[in-house]
Structures are given as C-alpha cells and as structure tokens.
Amino acid sequence: MSTAGLRTRDAILERAVDLASAEGLEGLTIGRLAAEMEMSKSGLFRHFGAKEELQLATVDAAARRFVEGVVAPALEREPGRPRLDALCELYLDHLESQVFAGGCFWGATAHEFDDRPGAVRDAIRDAVAAWLALLTEESRNAGAPDPEQFAFELQALAQGANLRYRLFGEEKAFVLARTAIARRLAAAGSGDRA
C-alpha cells in the first residue's frame, strides 16, 4: 500500500476511534464514517475489506492511543511507587480530558462486546488484560500487600468516575476517585492493608 494510502487509513482510524467511543463499534457504520471522511463508502471499505477488520483496526488504534497517552509516559518513571502514581494520574487525566474523545472507548466497547464472542471481543479483552497486568505489576513493585486486589480497586474507581462523569457530567466524579485512590496509595506506602 502506498504511503498516501497508509496516511488515509490512519486518518480514518483516528476518526473511527472517536466515533466508536461515542456510538460503539456497531454504531460505527461504514457509510457514516465515509461521510465524515468525505469519501465514498466503497473507497473507505477497500481499506479494510470487512466490517470486522475495521472494528479490529479501530481497537488497535485505540490501544496505541492509550499506550501513547498513558502507558509510555508512565514507563519513563522509575518502577515502584513513582510509576504507579504516574499510571493513576495519567489514567485519570486521560479519562477526564474532554480533548481526548476516546476516553470512554474501553468502557463503552467492553460493555458492548462482553456478550458477543469473536475476534473483536478477544482484542478488547487482550487490551484490557494487558492494562490490568501492568497495574498489578506496578502495585506489586510499589509494595502493595495484595497487588491484584489493589489493581482491581484502582481500575474500578477510575472507571466508576468515568461513567458518572459521562452520564451526569459531574466533574466532582474525578474528585471522588482521586480521594479514594490517594487514600489507598497512602495506605500501600505505609504497609497497611489498603
């Protein structure tokens, strides 16, 4: 494929991630995406060959965006507490930022596909699993007594804030999450059970 073709494909996928974050991966229709890109349906379709390939490529693009915005910057900090702090802060910032329209991508698509076996669900599952594994590993490195429990709570509190923010527009949702998470991080540092 030509470089121009690849650039077009990347541009399509950027738009697809934002659209799927709002409308879901089924609501992401080829006709609508083509209209927004100002190209023909078939022109866009030929970049992927099937709806499912578009969905898989969109999941992949969303994962790359998440790694770029959250994971990679946190990995620049030393392992243990500084990195865990950075992961939590960057994750909450990522969810909170209006600029980043993909904030709800994982929450939205995970709920949409959790009952639909197939390659798309597997891709979503793998991406979420990798994130939870990273959170667990850094919780362990930071000295949390039960890293898996700790990672579960961090993830649940952040996603809980995200849903409240999206559904009610309550900006205090992230205050609630930050308060809860700060308390657990402090307890982990002091050796208490969080």
Partner DNA sequence: CCTACCGATCGGTAGG
Task: Output 45 or 165, the one with its CB closest to a second copy.
Answer: 165
Question: Cβ of 81: how many Cβ atoms within 10 Å?
Answer: 18
d(CA 104, CA 18): 9
128 interacts with a second copy by CB under 8 A = yes
Identity of the residue, 78 or 114, whose beta carbon is nearer to a second copy in the bound complex: 114
41 binds, among a second copy, DNA, none (CB under 5 to 8 A by kind): DNA
Q: Of 7-15, 38-46, 69-77, 101-109, which segment contacts a second copy by CB under 8 A?
A: 101-109
Q: Which is nearer to a second copy, 57 or 127 (CB)?
A: 127
Q: Residue 32, interface with a second copy (CB under 8 A)?
A: no
Of 51 and 166, which CB lies nearer to DNA in the complex structure? Answer: 51
* CA–CA gap between residue 92 and residue 102 (Å, rounded): 13
For DNA, which is the closer residue by CB, 32 or 125?
32
Which residue's structure tokens are 């950027």? Answer: 14
Residue in the structure block whose two tokens are 């910032």? 93
119: helix, strand or coil: helix
Length of the chain in residues, anyone? 194
Q: Which helix (H) or strand (E) holds 50?
A: none
8 binds, among a second copy, DNA, none (CB under 5 to 8 A by kind): DNA
Residues that bind DNA in the complex, under the rule CB under 7 A:
4-5, 8, 28-32, 39-46, 49-52
CB-based contacts of 26: which residues, under 8 Å, 6+ apart?
Answer: 112
Is residue 180 within 8 Å of residue 188, measured between CB atoms? no
Q: Which does 5 bind (CB under 5 to 8 A by kind): a second copy, DNA, none?
A: DNA
Residue 68, interface with a second copy (CB under 8 A)?
no
